[in-house]
Homo-oligomer: A and B are copies of this chain.
């Protein structure tokens, strides 16, 4: 085993070199170039031999900066893993590390257990410079608001905005996604279409808006929105895509999971995809789309993460602004086998 038992400190180096802590500190940090070359070399040599590494905790106590970001994003779905990857890479390029943590437990989707508060406190206590998070719900979330926002800790939101507070935000351009879906299907000759979503989710509403906007603006075309999680939704959908002659021939879904449900539904009803009905998904669910052959959207999660991290860095380096930014990444249509020309 080498020299260091525990960690080398400035003091230890100073004593061995016969100089003061100040001198060592300045030399190792290249502050004040006015030291004798001999002293510099000596100090540096000792530091190297002792494998000196500064205690960032001590530095942070003084400077108030930790170079550490709090990131609260679940790591369980591929979409989020990729968002986190984007954040990670961008932060790392600026010598910032991330404390990654999340809370899955949302019994009623609106209560913030002790657990969530404990996590946030963990970040606050460790004095992260800021926090990037994907809200677990959209409505006023006391945990987030009181514990982060009110403390003046820079807060960047990803994927989902919160309804009660304006912050920097990076996410998907859902409106454009909806519009692109509509255009794709129109191009294939479809005129009567369905949007299957969930009006409780703002993201879904944006997709729906873009989708219907385009359809409404097109002669002869029309669209209708269905709540997936409502009673009798399945029956209603089946009716709409089978009922001749005004049946819908294309369905745009809030996500890939629902899309594959719809495909099963259609097949059970005796229709084939895409011959009788075209189906478009939306790619935040990490289904094996390629295998299923689903036409869907790639949301470029890594790019979303990178954008969030960039806003984080900007805000941490220049706090106090009140001009919050929103960066929306355009989703890319990926055409596969579930969409085809209307008959």
Contact = CB atoms under 8 A, between A and B. Distances in A.
Nearest to A118: B95
Given A88-B100, A122-B95, A150 B55 contact: no
A59 to B, nearest CB: 8
A56 interface: yes
Contact of A92 (B56, B81, B119, B150): B119
Nearest to A56: B125
A75 B75 contact: yes
B291 A125 contact: no
Q: Which of A66, A81, A102 has the most CB of B within 10 A?
A: A81
Interface in A83-100: 84-85, 88, 92, 95, 97-100
B125 A101 contact: no
Contacts of A56: 125-127
Given A75-B85, A78-B78, A152 B5 contact: yes
A18 interface: no
Nearest to A92: B101
A125 B61 contact: no
A246 to B, nearest CB: 35
A267 interface: no
Contacts of A98: 99-101
A151 to B, nearest CB: 7
Given A56-B126, A75-B75, A97-B123, 8 more contacts: A6-B152, A7-B151, A51-B146, A51-B150, A76-B82, A288-B288, A288-B290, A291-B291
A55 B125 contact: yes
Contacts of A68: 99, 126
Q: How many copies does the complex hold?
A: 2
A149 B185 CA distance: 59
B127 A55 contact: yes
A99 B97 contact: yes
8 contacts: A1-B152, A56-B126, A67-B122, A75-B88, A78-B81, A88-B100, A92-B101, A99-B100
Interface string A5-20: 1110000000000000
A329 to B, nearest CB: 19
Nearest to A2: B150
Interface in A18-74: 51, 53-58, 60-61, 66-68
A292 interface: yes
